[in-house]
Amino acid sequence: MYSTLDITSIRKDFPILEQVVNGKPLIYFDNAATTQKPQAVLDALSGYYGQDNANIHRGIHTLAERATAAFEDSRKALQAFINAPSADEVIFTYGTTDSINLVAQAYGRHFLKKGDEIIISTMEHHSNIVPWQMLCEEKGCLLKIIPINDAGELDMEAYELLLSEKTKLVSVVHVSNALGTINPVKEIIKKAHAVGAKVLLDGAQACSHLEIDVQDLDCDFYALSMHKIYGPTGMGALFGKREILDAMPPYRGGGEMIKEVTFAKTTYNELPYKFEAGTPNIADAIASKFALDYINQLGKNNIATYENELLNYATQAIGEVPGVKIVGQAKDKVSVLSFVIDGIHHQDIGVLLDQQGIAIRTGHHCTQPLMQRFGLSGTSRASFAVYNTTEEIDAFIQGLYKVRKMLG
């Protein structure tokens, strides 16, 4: 291995990894579903509730002011993390799914009309399919799908043919959660803008592996989840270009998103609060900054380099296991290894590995249309993070040999 990171020390930052599962040391390879949390994040959560618990923005007492400052510091940290022009363009949400629904409801319902076209891809998570289907049913829009090749890469020539003056929105995943494919999103955005369409990127998987620069990408919206990047669950963000967010009506009504309310008329608040109705997820928002600080301390490029080393090591090793086929062999990938074994159901693989203390994900990964494209009901998926090791991969491979011996 060529990583400059001290993985032994890093593992000590994640107390959950010290446990034993089914009599074996835990090997956690389900990072594409959610990453584990470093001690700094856990301390931030307990610290807020133990010292600063108060509602934010409207209080003038000390606890409220401390909580408000910490909450807004997290927004600034997210702004820097994705290089947004302004913290006002970073909307706190419950996660990527909530962010996509916000755009579908607040932008789509207001600006799209019958006959307009929305483009997504074959490899989308259900969260980037269903909201657009619902919008199309309501507004009479048409949903078009970018096909993929057998390696799990987008057919960019087909994408160009789908684009027209009727295209109003393109919403695609930056990195596939089921395949690990890194999509050519800058090219996608450029071609969409050429026909006047807006572009949303689902960054749920990308944000933990890639440097994200929304200004360089020139995307109109970028959605992400904190629990994919060592932060809390139920916490995410939506970046949107200011002029678009200003033009969008609020998604939810209530406190915080208003300036003035009378029974005759309500005046809405400014960005970002216009889209943040009600008491927010304060503790998880505050703890999110500590997750971002942790990543920045290690260095995003260092993490990506190490994870790629793990992926290459695992890809070579799993290729020697009889009957294994890797699903998703794009040239550009993150550390996601999706596979099937001839004659063995993916769920059985997951159960037997769990008995050996190895946590992987099995099933359709909320990408049923993608699975149908490959003629599969599901796959087994091992996904790696910065705290994983080659020794764990060796144990995982030995676990697969045991699975084959028992069921093959």
DSSP 84: -
Cα separation, 294 vs 3, in Å, equals 17
Alpha carbon distance, N-terminus to C-terminus of the chain:
32
Would the CA dihedral through 208, 214, 219, 222 be positive or negative?
positive
At position 167, the amino acid (one-letter code) is: T
Tokens for 180, please give them.
Answer: 């690990």
Cα separation, 160 vs 55, in Å, equals 49
What is residue 72's three-state secondary structure? helix
Whose structure tokens read 């307009």? Answer: 116
- Give the DSSP per-residue string, 271-290: TTGGG--SS--HHHHHHHHH
Three-state helix/strand/coil letters over 212-257 = CCHHHHCCCEEEEEHHHCCCCCCCEEEEECHHHHHHCCCCCCCCCC
Which of 387, 223, 231 is CA-nearest to residue 298? 387
Q: What are phi and psi of 233, to 5 degrees?
A: -75, 165
Which of 170, 181, 190 is CA-nearest to residue 210? 181
Cα separation, 336 vs 228, in Å, equals 13
Which of 121, 112, 73 is CA-nearest to residue 367? 121
Whether 366 sits among the annotated catalytic residues: the reply is yes
Cα separation, 300 vs 90, in Å, equals 20
207-235 as b/e: b if 16+ CB within 10 A: bbbbebebeebebbbbbbbbbbbbbbebb
Cα separation, 137 vs 97, in Å, equals 19
Q: How many Cβ atoms are within 10 Å of 130's Cβ, its own excluded? A: 16
Set 136, 141, 207, 366: catalytic member:
366
Which residues does the annotation mark as catalytic?
A: 366
